[in-house]
């Protein structure tokens, strides 16, 4: 179905999210000729949640695209009212991906 390459993107985003979820306290260095053993990591700690949320939006977008594709491939199936409305909204923005034959 030509969706296998999306796994690489998904895996890269997942790895980045996991990396960003580590405590920033692991990234401190001694300062002032090793006289001061503490430094603030506040700027880094503040930036990480924004990047994690940004990556999560891409992950959720991938999940939505794959779910819509799977629903379209199950032609004739009856979906719930809200699920069906969700698919309709998705298809207003993005069309069904053409089914490809694997040789």
Are 71 and 79 in contact, with CB atoms under 8 Å apart?
yes
Q: Answer yes or no: is 103 within a domain.
A: no
pLDDT of residue 35: 64
* pTM exceeds cut of 0.85: no
Q: What's phi and psi for 52, nearest 5 deg?
A: -60, -45
The domain in which residue 30 lies consists of: 6-93
Residue 85: CA count within 13 A, CB half-sphere = 2
pLDDT of residue 100: 57
Grouping H, G, I as helix, E, B as strand and the rest as coil, residue 36 is strand
Confidence of residue 27 (pLDDT cuts 50, 70, 90): low
Q: Answer yes or no: is 46 within a domain.
A: yes
How many domains would you assign to the chain? 1
Q: Answer yes or no: is 51 within a domain.
A: yes
Going from the C-alpha of 82 to that of each of 23, 86, 87, the distances in angstroms are: 39, 6, 9
């Amino acid at each position: 179905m030509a969706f296998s390459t999306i796994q690489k993107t998904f895996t890269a985003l997942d790895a980045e999210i996991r990396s960003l979820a580590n405590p920033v306290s692991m990234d401190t260095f001694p300062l002032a000729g090793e006289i001061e053993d503490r430094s603030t990591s506040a700027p880094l700690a503040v930036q990480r949640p924004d990047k994690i949320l940004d990556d999560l939006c891409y992950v959720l977008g991938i999940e939505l695209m794959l779910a819509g594709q799977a629903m379209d491939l199950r032609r004739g199936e009856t979906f719930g009212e809200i699920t069906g409305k969700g698919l309709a909204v998705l298809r207003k923005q993005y069309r069904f991906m053409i089914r490809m034959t694997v040789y």
